[in-house]
């Protein structure tokens, strides 16, 4: 998929989401994703996990939180995907939910 900045590392591709130097997100985590994925988020059929919420439980290491302990898109999805899991998930789908929702 040559048009997807997630899968191409050519010159200027990083600047779709990041500043050039130092590499920081151009916008807040959620807004960075929604700039391209708003339709995908609204029409997502598998799950509609809330984003932007603060959590009070300990979240496992492979699932990073944003500032103020907030769940954002990149908590579950790795925009620099090197795992090869579907939907760029940080953990295989059948194991993802139980990372935080054990016993529910």
- Cα–Cα dist 55/71, whole Å: 7
pTM: 0.75
* Average pLDDT rounded to a whole number, residues 39-50: 64
Give the lowest-confidence range in 32-41, 42-51, 76-85, 86-95. 42-51
Residue 71 has pLDDT above 80, yes or no: yes
Of 57, 93, 54, which is closest to residue 76 (Cα–Cα)?
93
Do 82 and 100 meet the contact criterion of CB atoms below 8 Å apart? Answer: no
64 touches 76 (CB < 8 A): no
- Supply the mean pLDDT for the chain: 78
Q: How far apart are CA 21 and CA 37, in angstroms?
A: 25
Domain residue limits, the chain: 14-99
pLDDT band at 2 (very low <50, low <70, confident <90, very high): very low
């Amino acid at each position: 998929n040559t048009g997807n900045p997630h899968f191409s590392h050519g010159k200027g591709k990083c600047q779709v989401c990041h500043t050039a130097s130092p590499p920081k997100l151009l916008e807040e985590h959620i807004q960075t994703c929604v700039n391209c994925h708003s339709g995908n988020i609204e029409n997502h059929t598998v799950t509609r996990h809330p984003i932007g919420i603060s959590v009070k439980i300990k979240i496992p290491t492979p699932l990073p939180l944003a500032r103020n302990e907030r769940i954002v898109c990149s908590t579950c999805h790795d925009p620099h995907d090197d795992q090869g899991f579907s939907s760029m998930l940080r953990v295989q789908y059948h194991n993802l939910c139980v990372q935080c929702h054990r016993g529910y």
